[in-house]
Structure 1
Amino acid sequence: MQVKKWSAVFVLVFLLSQTFGQLKTENVVLITVDGLRWQELYRGADPSIIRNKRFVEDVSALQREFWNADVELRRRKLFPFLWSAVATQGQVYGNRDFGNRVNIANRYRFSYPGYNELLTGKPDKRIKNNAKRTNPNQTILEFANQHGKFKGKVAAFASWDVFHYIINTKRSGIHINAGNDTAKSRLTARERYINHLQRNTPSPWKGTRFDEFTHNYAKEYLKKNSPRLVLIAYGETDEFAHSGAYDEYLKAAQNTDRYIQDIWEWIQSDSRYRDKTTMIITTDHGRGNGRRSWRSHGPGRAGSNHTWFAIIGPDTEPLGEVKNKSYYYTHQLTNIIASLLNLNYPGGGTDSSVFVNAYK
């Protein structure tokens, strides 16, 4: 069984890097959607939740916006860009209805452990929760920033302020804008306006701002500084899910699809990025299954280790929705990023002891 699981690793690497040495990718944009379940990605609005007045303020209005009896049409309502563009020009993994399984390996199933795993290529038993402690591990972002052609060309934008600790702002030296951070140097007129709006738009969540600010700060930085490796981490989906607001969770998910479209279309319009950039989209953890447990995640919540990812770029074959029965881990993406950028990142690899119950 272990051989079968790991065979998928080599298939994935081959699909992405079969022309290694002649890759067209010069830049990577990594986008994360905090706590977005695979169920909504692949099935659209959940029929067991969308009609539940406990979680939905206006059932009729939400169904008009997001419901269709046909699963494929329903998921297109929620993620129109992903299913019209990414799924036709790139690859999408994690539809467990076909036995295509993507998991996190860490047993804690919270955000900090998930992001550490994603950005370092392996889980760490020391990182058990979301406490604001500086990460002892070197992320792929920090590693890239130490290499000449990427020095000063790595950046991260996040709605959640804990990313300062996940990426270790002080040690890594990369540009990080997270939480309530504002733009601070050589401001464009738009950055000044975004700063003004953020200062005057209080967030309902402690430590997390609205994704609209994260998105616009990231896009302005791309335009102005041309970074080679960028992380954009959206957070509203997780916040609304924890509060039990399924209507707002769906709207945040759809907004994220719009943000992804905006970034990708801008990339394809700019000569510095067009046909030279790979975009990877994923999440840090899953959530519970069904109406009783969809709000939460953690070590005792079944389904919260179930994740997904999508890839689009000049070196990615247009396989669309991958339906073969295979196993993947989101932390494999670290080595994919390193390979695409021709970086010999030493942090990848997996401590086999963390694989307990990983595929349940």
Structure 2
Amino acid sequence: MKKLMLFMLCFGVWAVCFPQSGKTKNLIIVTLDGMRWQEVFSGADSVLINSKYTEDKDEVKKKYWSSSALERRKMLFPFLWTTVESKGQLYGNRTLGNTVALSNPYHFSYPGYNELFTGFPDKRMNTNDAIANPNLNVLEFINNQQGFKGKVVTFSSWERFPQILNTKRSGLPVYSGYVPVKNKDANARLSYLNEMQHDVPHYLGDSTRLDFITYEFGKEYLKQYKPRVLYLAFDETDDMAHAGNYKFYLDRARQEDGYIKSLWEMIQKDPFYKNNTTLLITCDHGRGNDPLDSWKDHGADVKGSENTWFAVLGPDTPETGEIKTPTTIYHKQIAQTIASLLGLDFKAFASHEVGDSIRTVMK
């Protein structure tokens, strides 16, 4: 362990010398758990709307239906298909041959988040149980670099992230489930959220909190502490899909698009973040599509649940919009991409394999 820590310290000094030619100084990462690429790129699915999985069909059609897929996706994700499309990039429209996929063979949450943040589809990470992740993650790596120490933070609805990001080893502040912000200088709003999260209905159980609370925590922490890397992990899209409630699944997706829009607009008004912050949005896994019932599920036995997507917006990302180039990108490449955006080289530092950076994300 002592040798490992010495190596981390020495390499950390080297890593900050890695030249940063871009404008990105800060990073916001958002994940929508289990959000299908189908809805991201085509909007609401008429087959699912007209199925047993949708109550209030007329209401859903009024909110989310158009004969045009381009209009449908904008109705569901207005921020993605206005601001991000015009100023950033979106990857994963398989109908155009642009493929984003998992490398891990399991296609559920813990293995997906492990791949996303370690750049490594480790076959040992094959459970959602509370097992500490032995793999170095890119957030931990960034937190050990000069200028980032204590400036990397995670807020998640699902309670498993302290193990996924191995807080006992990494020392990262990870506020998951109903964990409060205990900073002595926390502002009144953060203190209020600490109390309120226990008073709102526990629709997702006694371990997973509502995405609204996670969003509010992240927003207020951003205002007060100015972290350089903020990760927000939303969960309700996955919960509503597993429950077989397509209306609520769509509603939660639309709501989370609104949260992201609000955050982006807020940082564009803040001199600390304006014009030097990149936003990356993605998911941990996909869902099934055929047979119809498989839309509720994912996993190794569910065809199509390895198919994902991601979007990126920031000062170093070309304004390409929807990527239509036939190519395949894997989630294991996102960790190095995150580091590269900040001028760091996670791949050279990690003791395990790490996927190559996605070069088209950067100018």
TM-score above 0.5? yes
Instruction: Flag the 1:87–1:124 CA change in 2: closer, same or farther, 3 A.
Output: same
Q: Distance in 2 between matches of 1:304 and 1:348?
A: 29
| Residue of structure 2 equivalent to 1:299 | 300
2:69 pairs with 1:56: no
CA positional deviation for 1:350 = 4.8
C-alpha contact (below 8 Å) 1:121/1:335 kept by paired residues? yes
Q: Distance in 1 between matches of 2:74 and 2:232?
A: 23
C-alpha contact (below 8 Å) 1:57/1:247 kept by paired residues? yes
2:180 pairs with 1:182: yes
CA positional deviation for 1:167 = 0.6
| Residue of structure 1 equivalent to 2:244 | 244
C-alpha contact (below 8 Å) 2:333/2:354 kept by paired residues? no
| Residue of structure 2 equivalent to 1:347 | 350
Give SS of 1:48's match.
Answer: helix
**Which letter maps to 1:313?**
G
Aligned mate of 1:98, from 92, 96, 99: 96
Deviations 1:106-133 (A, max 9, x none): 0001100000000011110100121110
Q: Distance in 1 between matches of 2:37 and 2:350?
A: 27
**Which letter maps to 1:105?**
S
Q: Distance in 2 between matches of 1:90 and 1:330?
A: 19
CA positional deviation for 1:95 = 0.1
Question: What value does the CA root-mean-square deviation take over the aligned residues?
Answer: 1.5
| Residue of structure 1 equivalent to 2:171 | 173
Deviations 1:189-212 (A, max 9, x none): 211222232111132223221100
| Residue of structure 2 equivalent to 1:192 | 191
Instruction: Flag the 1:223–1:330 CA change in 2: closer, same or farther, 3 A.
Output: same
Query: How do residues 1-360 of structure 1 correspond to structure 2 at under 5 angstroms?
Result: 21-52=20-51, 54-185=52-183, 186-206=185-205, 207-290=207-290, 291-345=292-346, 346-347=349-350, 350=353
Q: Distance in 1 between matches of 2:213 and 2:268?
A: 22
Give SS of 1:80's match.
Answer: coil
Which is worse superposed, 27-36 or 203-212?
203-212
Which is worse superposed, 181-190 or 28-37?
181-190
> Would you identify which runs of 4 or more consecutive aligned residues in structure 1 move more than 6 Å?
none
Give SS of 2:209's match.
Answer: coil
Q: Distance in 2 between matches of 1:265 and 1:331?
A: 29
**Which letter maps to 2:270?**
D
Deviations 1:317-352 (A, max 9, x none): 000000111100122111111111122212397589
Count of residue correspondences: 332
TM-score (norm 1): 0.89
Which is worse superposed, 197-206 or 335-344?
197-206
**Which letter maps to 2:144?**
Q
| Residue of structure 1 equivalent to 2:12 | none
**Which letter maps to 2:53?**
F
C-alpha contact (below 8 Å) 2:190/2:221 kept by paired residues? no
CA positional deviation for 1:150 = 0.8
Which is worse superposed, 139-148 or 340-349?
340-349
Q: Distance in 2 between matches of 1:119 and 1:133?
A: 16
Give SS of 2:47's match.
Answer: coil
Deviations 1:259-288 (A, max 9, x none): 110111111110000011011000000000
C-alpha contact (below 8 Å) 1:104/1:329 kept by paired residues? yes
C-alpha contact (below 8 Å) 1:30/1:230 kept by paired residues? yes
